[in-house]
Structure 1
Amino acid sequence: MRRYLAVGLDCYLCLVTCGLLARPHVDTAGVSEIVGLLLGPTLAFSFLNQVVLTAIAGGGAGKLIMGIRVIRLPDAGRPGSWQLVRRWLYGLCRLPLQPWYALRSFLAGPGVLPLSAFWSSGYDDPVGLRQVRHSDLTTHRSAAADHR
């Protein structure tokens, strides 16, 4: 549940920030200009939040608020820049289409593809990263230091 709230916070902060940036220009712009005014800052803010802030602080704004950190598997270290960029692109391209794939599979009837083929368990990550609670991460790190 905490992970979903973090994603919701990330989306909310991104859209509110971009809306506030585009608000002064909406009255004088056409429809195509409004789309550009919203799409450009949304992608830029998303990149800054999901890649740059995660590389610096261990998580995006929503994850930091909810006490979640993004780690690299199997050593629980900080993720690399390329891993974060690939994860961001994966989130932009595949994740928004999951409800559509699930609905299409459901409407096609049984025997086509199970819903689990499209809905991830929440722990799967194509680039080898995982989201964990900050308290669990500090406990793990202290236990690993004591074990050495």
Structure 2
Amino acid sequence: MGRKYPASAHWETPSETRRIVSVFIDAITTILAGLAAGLVVGIGRVNGVPQIRIDSLTVWGTAVCAGITLSFFNHVVVALITHRSLGKAIAGLRIVRETDAGPPKLLQLVGRWLFGFLWMIAYAPIHLAADSNVTQQDAAGLRIVRRAKT
């Protein structure tokens, strides 16, 4: 027999505020970690004085690569192990399969990460600029939920 997962009745759709908080925490963590990695690479000495070469392509390339890597690690590897990203854990949310509320599968998490990455880069700025009321939907057969109040 397979492992039993909680019934969908034990989970509810979280408020838009909780979802936004979790996205904001994940985004800020990724951006700050990427920038920190870029700054570490960009520290050099000029005449014996430490300086940050902020105009260096290496600095910005490292920042972008580190940010993307951390984002993947947070949204795929951490979520595969804990069923939530850092932001979702802080907001009290978790990721479950839409079909049976079981834990997410690796390929579902990769698909969800790619969808979210595309959403943040391409669609979110358009919706913000157009002041539309479209919200990001769950993707790849996964849902974001919170434990139902009993």
> Which band: TM-score by shorter chain?
0.7 to 0.9
Cα shift at 1:33: 1.2
- Code of the residue aligned with 2:139 in structure 1: it is P
Aligned length: 125
Cα deviation digits, residues 16-61 of structure 1 (max 9, x gap)? 2222222233224753212211111001000000000000001100
Aligned-partner Cα distance in 2 for 1:12–1:103: 18
Structure 1 residue matching 2:80: 3-state secondary structure: helix
Gaps of 5+ in 1: 107-114, 140-148
Cα shift at 1:81: 0.2
Cα deviation digits, residues 44-84 of structure 1 (max 9, x gap)? 00000000000000110010111100000120001110000
Cα shift at 1:103: 6.3
Identical amino acids, percent of aligned pairs: 29
Structure 2 residue matching 1:10: 3-state secondary structure: helix
Structure 2 residue matching 1:75: 3-state secondary structure: coil
- Code of the residue aligned with 2:39 in structure 1: it is R
Change in CA separation of 1:65 and 1:103 when aligned onto 2, cut-off 3 Å: closer
Q: Which structure 2 residues correspond to residues 1-148 of structure 1 after superposition, within 5 A?
A: 1-26=17-42, 27-28=52-53, 30-102=55-127, 115=132, 119-120=134-135, 122=136, 124-133=137-146, 135-136=147-148
Aligned-partner Cα distance in 1 for 2:34–2:120: 21
Aligned-partner Cα distance in 1 for 2:33–2:73: 12
60-69 or 93-102: which moved more? Answer: 93-102
Change in CA separation of 1:105 and 1:38 when aligned onto 2, cut-off 3 Å: same
Cα shift at 1:100: 4.1
| Highest RCO, 1 vs 2 (Cα 8 Å, sep ≥ 6) | 2
Change in CA separation of 1:5 and 1:105 when aligned onto 2, cut-off 3 Å: closer
Aligned-partner Cα distance in 2 for 1:19–1:95: 18
Higher strand share: 2
- Code of the residue aligned with 1:11 in structure 2: it is A
Higher helix share: 1
- Code of the residue aligned with 2:32 in structure 1: it is V
What residue is the counterpart of 2:11 in the other structure? none
What residue is the counterpart of 1:142 in the other structure? none
